[in-house]
């Protein structure tokens, strides 16, 4: 089960993913973007409004991040896709020389916009900034993403809410197929990859069927969407383990918007390659540090005089220089530097988690690694219910 196998190079020179080792369903490899190759599994920091909150592009480089996410909905409203295009595209605009990926904007329309109205044609909504009437269609989404010129653009999809009944999920799939075809008819930026999104809510049969449909499209990667929208976690884990191995092997497999450290370990176990989540930076702003020994809450008085780094084994800028006591002081004083320093550490934690996962896959020990890492992380967690160890949800490993 856990024996690693070295695989021959992919036969197709145009493959956008080359598998290098597998361990059960987990895999590591190389993702081929327009200007660079990226090792997987990979975590992508979220830069919603062309900024990873509180962290500079130089700091991201220092963390060895490789791909940053931008958000179509936010950027089309402000500063506007044409403005970003005039300034050289998303990467150049934000001073980021690495890879970029933009989502299609559909998801945010429903979570942020006021009075959105959805038809087969697209979505009409009022901007959450100034109330202006805006129309987002598959064509417009892809045009905006072409202007932003990210390395990867996501096809416009219809994401139903977490508890949606079967009929509503089926309707969302039908619309996602309709919108997918229209998205693909729009010429992408030169060398820009396009990923399709699998929907299907909590229905395994719908997801399996839609996965086959999306995989048959001329897309360079396939994403699982519509998770982490309020459905029970145990259900998500079961679906991931069932579905991920069915995704194409010669293309990257992207799990959208889901990413506690445990989620990532489960998803990698299932066979996913790419991840994004706002959690490392959001937790940082709330004074939480992620460590391999569980989360630390810097708001707790116990850290007031602790002259130790967040994590002894961590080599990030924050741990190399600052004590928990100082970080607690920054957080409790509302100093912005506190959020920045914790964000740097938390992002470094994710980078380290991905590197270790990759190494374990190469060594054929991924399952044992994932189990041990989860046990350690949950054993001494300072945040939330201390008794809730380990996972209140059954893990597949
Ligand atoms: Zn650190």
Q: Using one digit for the tens of pLDDT, what is the confidence trace for 66-110?
A: 999 999 999 999 999 999 999 999 999 999 999 999 999 988 887
Per-residue pLDDT tens for 212-257?
999 999 999 999 999 988 888 999 999 999 999 999 999 999 999 9
Kindly report each contact of residues 162-167 with a partner whose C-beta sits within 8 Å and lies 24 or more positions away, as own/partner.
162/201, 162/202, 162/229, 162/230, 162/231, 163/230, 163/231, 164/201, 166/201, 166/203, 166/206
Q: For this structure, is 120 an active site residue?
A: no
pLDDT for residue 10 = 39
Q: Cα(299) to centroid of ligand 1, in Å?
A: 17
Ligand 1 center to 355 CA (angstroms): 15
**Higher per-residue pLDDT: 108 or 39:** 39
For 164, list phi and psi in degrees, rounded to 5: -60, 135
Q: Which residues surround ligand 1, an ion (CB under 5 A)?
A: 314, 316, 318-319, 345
For residue 7, is pLDDT > 70?
A: no
Residues 344-364 as b/e (b if ≥16 CB within 10 A, e otherwise) read: bbbbbbbbbbbebbbebbbeb
Structural domains of the chain ordered from first start: 5-277 (3.20.20.105), 283-379 (no CATH)
- Give the distance (Å) from ligand 1 centre to CA of residue 391: 24
Give the confidence band of 128 by pLDDT, cuts at 50, 70, 90. Answer: confident
Question: What does pLDDT average to over the chain?
Answer: 93
pLDDT band at 13 (very low <50, low <70, confident <90, very high): low
For residue 229, what pLDDT is reported?
84
pLDDT of residue 394: 87
Annotated catalytic, 205? no
Peptide bond preceding 79: is omega within 30 degrees of 0, i.e. cis?
Answer: yes
Tell me which of 103, 158, 177, 273 is the catalytic residue.
Answer: 103
How many other CB atoms are found less than 10 A from the CB of residue 389?
14
182: nearest Cα among 214, 140, 124: 140
The alpha carbon of 204 and the centre of ligand 1 are apart by a number of angstroms equal to: 39
CB-based burial of residue 194 (10 Å sphere; 0-12 exposed, 13-18 middle, 19+ buried)? buried
Q: Name the pLDDT band for 388 (thresholds 50, 70, 90).
A: very low
Query: What spacing in Å lies between the alpha carbon of 326 and ligand 1's midpoint?
Result: 14
Q: Are 199 and 159 in contact (CB under 8 A)?
A: yes
CA of 77 to the centre of ligand 1 (A): 35
In tens, the pLDDT along 282-335 reads 999 999 999 999 999 999 999 999 999 999 999 999 999 999 999 999 999 999
pLDDT value, residue 391: 59
354 Cα: distance to centroid of ligand 1 (angstroms): 15
Candidates 157, 177, 273, 276; catalytic one = 276
Query: What confidence tens digit (pLDDT) does each residue in 333-373 have?
Result: 999 999 999 999 999 999 999 999 999 999 999 999 999 99
Residue 1, pLDDT score: 39
240, 273 Cβ separation under 8 angstroms: no
Do 151 and 192 meet the contact criterion of CB atoms below 8 Å apart?
yes
Average the pLDDT over 151-171 and give the result.
94
**C-alpha of residue 88 to centroid of ligand 1, in Å:** 33
């Amino acid at each position: 089960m856990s024996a690693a196998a070295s695989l021959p190079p992919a036969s197709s020179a145009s493959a956008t993913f080359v598998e290098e080792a597998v361990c059960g369903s987990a895999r590591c490899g190389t993702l081929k973007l327009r200007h660079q190759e990226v090792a997987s599994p990979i975590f992508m920091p979220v830069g919603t409004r062309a900024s990873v909150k509180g962290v500079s592009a130089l700091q991201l480089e220092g963390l060895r991040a490789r791909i940053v996410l931008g958000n179509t909905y936010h950027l089309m409203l402000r500063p506007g896709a044409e403005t970003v295009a005039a300034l050289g595209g998303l990467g150049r605009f934000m001073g980021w020389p690495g890879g970029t990926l933009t989502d299609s904007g559909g998801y945010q329309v429903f979570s942020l916009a006021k009075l959105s109205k959805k038809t087969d044609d697209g979505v009409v909504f009022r901007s959450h900034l100034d109330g202006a009437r805006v129309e987002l269609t598959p064509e417009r989404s892809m045009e905006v993403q072409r202007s932003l010129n990210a390395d990867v653009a996501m096809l416009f999809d219809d994401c139903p809410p977490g508890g949606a009944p079967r009929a509503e999920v089926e309707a969302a799939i039908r619309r996602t197929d309709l919108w997918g075809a229209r998205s693909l008819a729009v010429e992408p930026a030169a060398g820009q990859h396009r990923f399709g999104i699998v929907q299907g809510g909590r229905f395994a049969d719908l997801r399996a069927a839609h996965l086959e449909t999306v995989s048959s499209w001329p897309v360079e990667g396939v994403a699982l969407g519509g998770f982490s929208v309020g459905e029970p976690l145990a259900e998500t884990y079961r679906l991931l383990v069932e579905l991920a191995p069915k995704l194409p092997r010669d293309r990257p497999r992207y799990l959208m918007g889901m990413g506690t450290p445990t989620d990532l370990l489960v998803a990698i176990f299932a066979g996913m390659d790419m991840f994004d989540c706002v959690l490392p930076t959001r937790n940082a702003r709330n004074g939480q540090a992620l460590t391999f020994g569980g989360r630390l809450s810097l708001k707790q008085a116990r850290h007031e005089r602790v002259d130790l780094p967040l994590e002894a084994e961590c080599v990030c800028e924050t741990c190399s220089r600052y004590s928990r006591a100082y970080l607690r002081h920054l957080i409790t004083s509302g100093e912005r530097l506190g959020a920045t320093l914790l964000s740097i550490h938390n992002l470094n934690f994710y980078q380290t988690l991905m590197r270790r996962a990759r190494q374990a896959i190469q060594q054929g020990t991924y399952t044992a690694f994932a189990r041990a890492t989860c046990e350690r992380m949950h054993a001494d967690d300072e945040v939330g219910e201390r008794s809730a160890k380990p996972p209140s949800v059954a893990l597949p490993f």
